[in-house]
Amino acid sequence: MAVRRIVPNLQVSDPEDARRFYADLLGLEIVMDHGWIVTFAAKGGSAMPQVSFATEGGSGTPVPVLSIEVDDADELYRRAKAAGVEIVYDITDEPWGVRRFYLRDPFGNIVNILSH
């Protein structure tokens, strides 16, 4: 037996808001859409299944519901600011080697955006 993927399932009121945020802003691809559930994935990417369990988000921050690694955190930060997305934790170079910021998705979830 081998785990092939791990997909967090977040309850939302309107999947269309997810499409605007996760596809339009973050550039994720819709890989499944049944109307009541929409699944997004990185375009052309493949990653080892991962899941994290934390008491805090690091540097005294709250635990985000998702961590999304991008190739350019600064560019996404600029796009999020321009779109009026709430920045919960400003862009920072962390001592463990990531550059990251937190933003709030349309459903109130805190999302960690990071680059190595």
Domains and CATH numbers, the chain: 15-115 (3.10.180.10)
Residue 2 has pLDDT above 80, yes or no: no
Concatenated DSSP letters of 24-68: IIT-PEEEEE-SS-EEEE-TT----------SS-STTPPPPSEEE
Provide the mean pLDDT of the chain: 91
SS3 content of the chain, % helix, strand, coil (to 5): 20, 30, 55
Of the candidates 115, 116, 114, 113, the one whose C-alpha atom is nearest the C-alpha of residue 22 is 113
Of the candidates 83, 114, 84, 82, the one whose C-alpha atom is nearest the C-alpha of residue 101 is 114
Here the tokens at position 71 are 């190739």
Q: What stretch of H or E contains 79?
A: helix 73-82
| Digit-coded pLDDT (tens) for 16-52 | 899 999 999 999 999 999 998 899 998 877 777 788 8
- Going 16 to 85 to 40 to 27, the CA torsion angle's sign is positive
pLDDT bracket for residue 100 (50, 70, 90): very high
**CA-CA distance, 80 to 62, in Å (whole number)?**
20
